[in-house]
Amino acid sequence: MPPSGNAHNGRSGHNHCYGHYHSFFKPNDRVRADVPQWVKRRETLKSCFPTYESTSIDTFPDEVRTAMDSITSLKHPKANCPVYYGDASPIVDYSDVTKAAVPLAGDTIQQVVEDMADLLIGLPNSAHPLHQANVLPNPNKASIIAALIANYTSQNAIEGEYAWNLCKAEMETAAMVAKLIPKWCETEAGGIFTYGGSGCYLYAVKYALSHVIKDSRCKGIPDVNAKLICSQQGHYAKMNSTDWLGVGMENIHEINCDDDSNEMELSHLYDVLQECKSKGEPVAAIICTMGTTDAFAVDDVKAVREYLHKNQINDPSKYNQPLIYCDAVIGWSFLLFSGYNFHANPLQFSEPVCRKIEQTYHKIKNIGYADAVGIDFHKTGWVQYATSMFMMKDFRQYRDLMSRPGSAYLHDRTPYNPGLYSLEVSRSAAPALSAWATLKYLGLEGFQTIIGGILEMSQYLRHIIKKEENMVCVNEEDYGFVTLFRMYQSLKGPDGEDLTADEMYEKELSIGSHSHKSEVEWLKANNNYQQKIADGMWSWLHADTPPQDGWTPPFVTYTSGFRTTDPVDDLGSEYVIYALKSYPMNVSVTTNHMHSLLAHFKECARKVDNDELPTIPNDLICAPYTGKWSVPDCDGNHDGPKITSLLSGVPGKVKGRGKAKGRKEGKGAAVGRNK
Ligand SMILES: *Cc1c(COP(=O)(O)O)cnc(C)c1O
C-alpha cells in the first residue's frame, strides 16, 4: 500500500511506493540483488511449489519419485514379508505429540519426506495378503494417480467455473453407476461425492426430512418425533446422522432381523409403520442396509417399496410419504455383475461361488426401488479414503428440495454448480476423479474378478477350517466377504463331555437364560478364548518384531457380537457369539496365504495357552487425549439403540438391545456391533 498520505492519489504517477516495488523485479521476473529480505526469501520459496510454466527446473516429478522410493524402501522381499511397512511394528506411542511445534525456517522437502516415511513404519500394509482385519481394501493405481492429479491441480469441485472438466468425473461416475441400477435412468438420477458412507447417510436423512416435513428447512424440525426406521443390524451411522441433524437418537426405530437371513423382519417393519401412523409421528425414512459389514444381510427394499405403494404412512395433510434409502456402501459393487451371464459363467467361478454371486446380485439390484443410495468406493471399490457417492434416483427433485436460498450472488458461469445444494462448500475433486478412474481402469470384468476371487478364497478358507479339529466356521451360510470362525482350547462340553468342534458350537447356540450357570460360564469362557486369540495375534504382530523364525503374523481381529445364541431373550447379555475374522480384500491372496493364516492362528493359540505373549500397552498417549469421557445414555421408552452400542460390543453393557416386543424366540440374529 502507498503511504497513507498518498492513499488518494495513487493514480498520480508520483507514487514513491509503486515505483519502489517495480524496482524489485527484472523484466524476466527474476529479482534484483538489492531488494528487501522478503523478496529474496520469497524467490527461494518458489521451489516449494510446482512451477506454473513448463520448464526443466520443475523438480516436482523427481521429488515424487524420490518420495515413492522412500516408501517402497519400507517394503520387504516376498519370502518373509511382514504385514506392515518398515522393519518393526512396536505399538504406537502417542505420548509426545504435544511437543510438536511449527519450525521457524521450514525443512527441506527431503527432510519432510523422510519424516513422513518415519510415520509409515509399522503401518499395516493393506496390499499385503495377510492384511485381513476388515473391509480395508488397498487402492488401485488409477485411483491413487487420480488423487495425485486432482490434488496437484487442486480444483474446487464446488462448481464448474473452478473444477472445469473435472466436474465430468462426478457426473459421469453417477451416470455409469445409474446405468447399473435397474429402474433408474441416467438422465434422471444424479450423484454427489461426500465424506464417507456416514456422509451419505447424513445426506439421506437430511433429504428425507426436507422431503417429508416440507418447511423444516426454514422452520426447523417441529416437535413431532420424526422417525428413522432401519434394521437392528444397520450401521451405527444411523446414530451419527440423527444425532448431528438434531433428530435425536431415540427417534431411530430399529426393526428386528430375521433369524435366518439377518434381513429386516418385514412383519415387524409393517407393525412399526402402522404404530407410527396411529401416533401421527411422521416417518422420515426407511433405511434398507444392502450388505451389513459382517453378516452381509441385504434388506428387502422391493417389499418395502411395495408396502409404501399400498399404504399411506404419513398424514398427507401435513407430510409427504417416507423416503427409502439404501445404505449400500458395502454391497453396491455387486451391481457390477450387471450383465454377467451366470449360466455361461465366463469367468469360470466355482459352482457355489457363482450361485452365491447370482443370488446376491439379484438382491442388491433391488436398490432400484430406493429413492437414494449410498456407495463407498473406499470399501468395495478399491479406492483410497474418503470416496463415497450419495445418489438420488430423481436428481432434480433432490436439487429443487435442497438448493440453498439466497445463492443468487454466486455466479453460475458454467451450468454445473453442485455447491448450491451440497453439504460441503469447498469440495475436493479427488474422490470423484478417483472413482471415475477406477471404474474405467478395472471395468466390469475387473471388479467381477476381484469380488469373485475374494469369495473363492473365502470358500477355500472355510474348507480348510472344516478340516481343523478345534475350529468351526460360524457363517457358512453368509454371502459376504468375511469368514467368521471359532477356535476351542479343548473339546469339552460344559459337563466335561467330549465333543467335536461342530457339537461344541451347536451346544453354545443352545445356551440361554434357561441354561445352568455352569453352561453360561462355559460359553463365556469360550468367547473369552476368541478374544484372547485375537489379542494374542495383536500382541504377536506388535511385540515380536521383527518377526521371528519365518513367522509373519497377520493383521486380523475378532467380533464380540457376531450373533446371539438361538434361544436368546436378551441380546445385551452374555448369550452372544464371538468370532475370529478373515476379511481377505486383495487380489494377492492365494490358498497358501489361507494356510498360513490358519497356521498363525494355531501357533498363536499355542503361545496363548503357554502364556508366551506379552501384554501390549495401549496407554501411550498424553493429555488432552487421556482420561475417560462420558457418553450420554439415551434411555428411551422403546427399543431404540443405546448409545453404548457405539462402543465395541461388551456383552452385558449393551442394555436393552433386542428386547423389542414381538421378537420371536428362535435362532439368534447377527449383532454386528463392530465396525
Ligand atoms: C462402513 C459402513 C458405513 C459407514 O461408512 P463410512 O464410509 O465408514 O463413513 C455405513 N454403513 C455400513 C453398512 C458400513 O459398512
Mean pLDDT estimate for the chain = 89
Q: Around Cβ 353, how many Cβ atoms within 10 Å?
A: 20
Average pLDDT over residues 490-507: 97
Residue in 195, 202, 230, 235 to alter for ligand 1 test, most ligand atoms within 8 A of Cβ: 235
Give the three cell numbers for residue 582.
Answer: 478373515
- Contact between residue 2 and residue 21 where contact means Cβ atoms under 8 Å apart: no
Residue nearest to atom 8 of ligand 1 (CA): 197
Write down the pLDDT at residue 405. 63
DSSP track, 382-400: --PSS-EEEEESSHHHHHH
Q: Kindly give the distance from the C-alpha atom of residue 655 to the centroid of ligand 1, in angstroms, as a whole number.
A: 23
How far, in Å, from the CA of 198 to the mean position of ligand 1?
Answer: 6
CA nearest 178: which of 196, 165, 197, 191? Answer: 191
* Nearest 10 degrees: Cα torsion 303, 309, 313, 318: 150
Taking only the tens place, the pLDDT of each residue in 93-128 is 999 999 999 999 999 999 999 999 999 999 999 999
Q: Which of 101-115, 267-281, 561-575 has the lowest mean pLDDT?
A: 561-575
Give the containing element (helix H, strand E) for 230: strand 227-231
Residue 293 CA, closest ligand 1 atom number: 15
Q: What is the SS3 string spanning 411-423? A: CCCCCCCHHHCCC
Distance from the CA of 236 to the center of ligand 1, in angstroms?
8
Ligand 1 centroid to 195 CA: how many Å?
A: 11
CA 152 to ligand 1 centroid distance, Å: 28
Q: End-to-end distance of the chain based on CA atoms, in angstroms?
A: 56
Cα–Cα distance measured from residue 348 to residue 341, given in angstroms and rounded to the nearest whole number: 11
Question: Which neighbouring-strand residues pair with 84?
Answer: 124
At 304-354, the pLDDT tens digits run 999 999 999 999 999 999 999 999 999 999 999 999 999 999 999 999 999
Least confident of 148-157, 571-580, 591-600: 571-580
In the chain, % of residues over pLDDT 90:
78
Closest ligand 1 atom to residue 378 Cα is: 7
- How much is the pLDDT for 259? 76
Tell me: the pLDDT tens digits for 14-25?
Answer: 555 688 899 999
Taking Cα atoms as reference points, which of 547, 555, 548, 559 lies closest to residue 584?
555
**Alpha-carbon separation of residue 305 from 37, 145, 191, 367, 369 (angstroms):** 69, 40, 21, 10, 6
What's the 120 CA to ligand 1 centre distance in angstroms?
A: 25
Q: Which ranges constitute the DSSP H helices of 414-516?
A: 430-466, 501-509
| Residue type at 333 in one-letter notation | S
Q: Are 221 and 607 in contact (CB under 8 A)?
A: no
Distance 22 CA to ligand 1 centre (A): 56
Q: Which residues are 581's β-sheet partners?
A: 484, 557
Q: Which residues line ligand 1 (CB under 6 A)?
A: 196-198, 235, 237, 289, 292-293, 327, 329-330, 376, 388
Residue 225: strand, helix, or coil = coil
Pair type for strands 323-327 and 283-289: parallel
Residues near 222 by beta carbon (within 8 Å), at least 6 away in sequence? 213, 216
Cell of 242: 440423527
Amino acid sitting at position 637: N
CA distances from residue 552 to 125, 128, 605 in whole angstroms, order as listed: 13, 11, 15
Tell me how far apart the alpha carbons of residues 324 and 370 are, in angstroms, rounded to a whole number: 5
166's enclosing H/E stretch is: helix 166-178
pLDDT band, very low/low/confident/very high, at 573 (cuts 50, 70, 90):
low
* CA atoms of 556 and 552, how far apart (whole Å): 12
Q: Which ligand 1 atom is at minimum distance from the Cα of 195?
A: 9
The cell numbers describing 59, all together, are: 523438480
Protein residue with its CA nearest to atom 5 in ligand 1 = 197
Q: pTM for this one?
A: 0.91
Which numbered atom of ligand 1 lies nearest the CA of 386?
Answer: 7
